Copies of this chain bind each other. A is one copy, B any other.
Amino acid sequence: MNQIDTYLDEHRDRFEDELCELLRIPSVSADSAHRDDVRRAAEWVADQFRGMKLATEVIETAGHPIVYAQSPAVPGAPTALVYGHYDVQPPEPLDLWTSPPFEPTRRDGNLYARGATDDKGQMLTHVKSVQAWLETEGSLPINVKFLIEGEEEVGSAHLDAFIEANREKLSCDCVVISDTCQLGPGRPAITYGLRGIAYYELRLQGPDRDLHSGSFGGAITNPANVLARMIAALLDEDGRVQVPGFYDDVVELSDEEREQFRALDFSNVEFLKKVGVSGAVGEEGYTILERRWARPTCDVNGLWSGYQGEGEKTVLPASAGAKFSFRLVPNQCPQQVSDSLDAFLQGMIPPGIEMELIRSHGAPGVVVPLDSPYMRAAAQAIEQGFGVAPVFIREGGSIPVVNTFGELLGVDTLLLGWGLDDDNTHSPNEKFHLADFHRGIKASAYLWRELSRVGTAHQRT
Contacts and interface: CB of A to CB of B under 8 A. Distances in A.
Interface of A: 29-32, 89-90, 92-93, 96, 153-155, 181, 195, 197, 199, 206-222, 224-225, 227-229, 231-235, 237, 239, 271-272, 275-283, 288, 291-292, 295-317, 320-323, 325, 327, 350-352, 360-361, 395-398, 421, 424-429
B214 A397 contact: yes
> Closest 7 interchain pairs by CB?
A214-B397, A208-B276, A279-B351, A30-B311, A218-B297, A224-B300, A228-B231
A33 to B, nearest CB: 9
A225 B299 contact: yes
A303 B320 CA distance: 8
Contacts of A181: 215
A189 to B, nearest CB: 13
A214 B277 contact: no
B425 A292 contact: no
6 contacts: A195-B214, A217-B327, A228-B228, A228-B303, A301-B317, A304-B308
B313 A306 contact: no
Given A231-B232, A315-B426, 5 more contacts: A30-B311, A211-B275, A218-B291, A219-B291, A301-B317
A313 B219 contact: no
A209 B96 contact: yes
A396 B207 contact: no
Report the copy number of this chain in the oligomer: 2
Contacts of A212: 397, 425-427
B311 A275 contact: no
Contacts of A214: 195, 197, 327, 395-398
Contact of A218 (B209, B304, B312, B396): B396
Contacts of A89: 313
A306 B314 contact: no
Contacts of A316: 299, 301
A206 B292 contact: no
B30 A275 contact: no
Given A225-B298, A288-B219, A211 B426 contact: yes
Contacts of A217: 292, 297-299, 327, 396
A239 B213 contact: no
